[in-house]
Amino acid sequence: MEFGIFTIGDVTTDPTNGTTPSEHERIMSMLTIAKHAEEAGLDVFATGQHHNPPFVAPANPPVLLAHIAAQTERIHLSTSTTLITTTDPVRIAEDYSYLQHLAGGRVSLMMGRGNTGPVYPWFGKDIRAGIPLAVENYNLLHRLWRERNLSWEGNFRTPLDGFTVTPWPLDDVPPFVWHGSIRSPEIAEQAAYYGDGFFHNNIFWPTSHTARMVKLYRQRYEYYGHGAAHQAFVGLGGQVFMRADSQAAVHEFRPYFDNAPVYGHGPSLEDFAEQTPLTVGSPQQVIERYAGFREWAGDYQRQLFLLDHAGLPLKTVLEQIDILAEQVVPVLRKELDAARPADVPDAPTHEWLRVRHLAGQDPVPGGAPGSRAHEEREAAAQEKKGGRQ
């Protein structure tokens, strides 16, 4: 199982002293955070894609991730959102193939539709077509990474005639894709259809909702013949703030929570922590809370934490990374890995994908032979053929 951090790159005033970092300071802090995460022993650094204030999370994440790749050796680099709705799939295919080469394969993507309505018209899209855009654009991206001289025609961009992505994916293996969603069952279905991963960024949602979405994805993953439901690739979000003394943690974090642009001036810290994964307290409290995720999510592969937000000083963020890496992750990794059945895969790596590709075991979109989906399509085709006779 892989543990890491993800950032939304918000530029937020520190409510305890009134200071606001400049955009340049915030951008450079994300580089420091990523490098520190590797030094601390975390597995993943992920960044979102935004095009609007107060975020400086890159509009083009490969720029930041390539810069981090040049200064790190081990940590896996991921997007925590790649806007599949408003970013041209051809641009995504080439940018991330290039990043994959520069990073030696330690790259994955988390596709999302975005949560800011104005972004759609900025890029000439209609938010009411969000789901169809996500479905069509990802279908094109999936094919671009697997078919040379591709000819294609859809509803939302100009046709392609004999197009080949350059550079071609490293070792003929595209980066692994997680489909991120909070509320849309269509995206869980899409992830299952392709045999990809499903990431539920549940930091604002109750367990009951997230559990239903994960269950749906697992059921459909098995339906399409990519493996048993418990073998599907699941990722979850998280939020923590820790100190050795739980009361001290609450006292220190409360002003940041109360004034945060995302959830400030809403539910109390206590109510929000009760209803979502936000855990403010001691490392042991975080361990107990997150070890319990397996009870409703099953054995999962990726756990990412949001640590650098709401105006928290960089020094505090780096302290949180150290606490997470030294006191929390080793215990969670040991407990969750010990309970994991032998047939449940770890988080996909480039080498794992390459071996699977060489063995001819790549997922078949829409239903592998022998799956229920494949059998139902075959039966429907035979019935349709019989009706024409």
What would the mean pLDDT of 357-381 be, rounded to a whole number? 87
Please, what is the Cα angle at 183 between 317 and 140, to 5 degrees? Answer: 95
The percent of residues above 90 in pLDDT, for the chain, comes to 77
Beta carbons within 8 Å of 34's beta carbon, 6+ residues apart: 45, 68, 72, 75
Least Cα distance to 12 among 32, 1, 31, 26 occurs for 26
Number of H helices and E strands in the chain, helices first, is 15, 12
CATH number, domain containing residue 226: 3.20.20.30
- Give the span between the Cα atoms of 115 and 174, in whole angstroms: 26
User: Using an 8 Å Cβ cutoff, are 338 and 56 in contact?
Assistant: no
Band of pLDDT at residue 266, cut at 50, 70 and 90? confident
Tokens standing for residue 253: 């974090």
What would the mean pLDDT of 196-213 be, rounded to a whole number? 92
Beta carbons within 8 Å of 60's beta carbon, 6+ residues apart: 49, 95
- Percentages helix, strand, coil for the chain (3-state, rounded to 5) are 50, 15, 35
Domain count within the chain? 1
pLDDT at 264: 75
Q: Which domain holds residue 175?
A: 2-388
pLDDT at 387: 65
User: Using an 8 Å Cβ cutoff, are 157 and 143 in contact?
Assistant: no
User: Using an 8 Å Cβ cutoff, are 277 and 210 in contact?
Assistant: no
Please, what is the Cα angle at 303 between 297 and 305, to 5 degrees? Answer: 125
What would the mean pLDDT of 204-214 be, rounded to a whole number? 92
| Backbone φ, ψ for residue 187 (5° rounding) | -75, -35
Least Cα distance to 119 among 87, 74, 146 occurs for 87
> Is 249's pLDDT higher than 90?
yes
| pLDDT tens-digit readout, 290-342 | 999 999 999 999 999 999 999 999 999 999 999 999 999 999 999 999 999 99
Is residue 256 classed as helix, strand or coil in its secondary structure?
helix
User: Using an 8 Å Cβ cutoff, are 289 and 279 in contact?
Assistant: yes
- Give the span between the Cα atoms of 203 and 278, in whole angstroms: 7
pLDDT at 343: 97
| DSSP 8-state symbol, 169 | P
The model scores a pTM over 0.85: yes
> Is 54's pLDDT higher than 90?
no
- Give the span between the Cα atoms of 129 and 112, in whole angstroms: 14
Least Cα distance to 193 among 216, 170, 162 occurs for 216
- Give the span between the Cα atoms of 157 and 133, in whole angstroms: 10
Residue 82: beta bridge partners?
A: 111
Given its phi and psi angles, is residue 366 left (phi above 0), alpha (psi -120 to 50 degrees) or beta?
left
CA distances to 137, 146, 290, 365, 389 from 172, in Å: 21, 8, 36, 17, 43
Band of pLDDT at residue 53, cut at 50, 70 and 90? confident
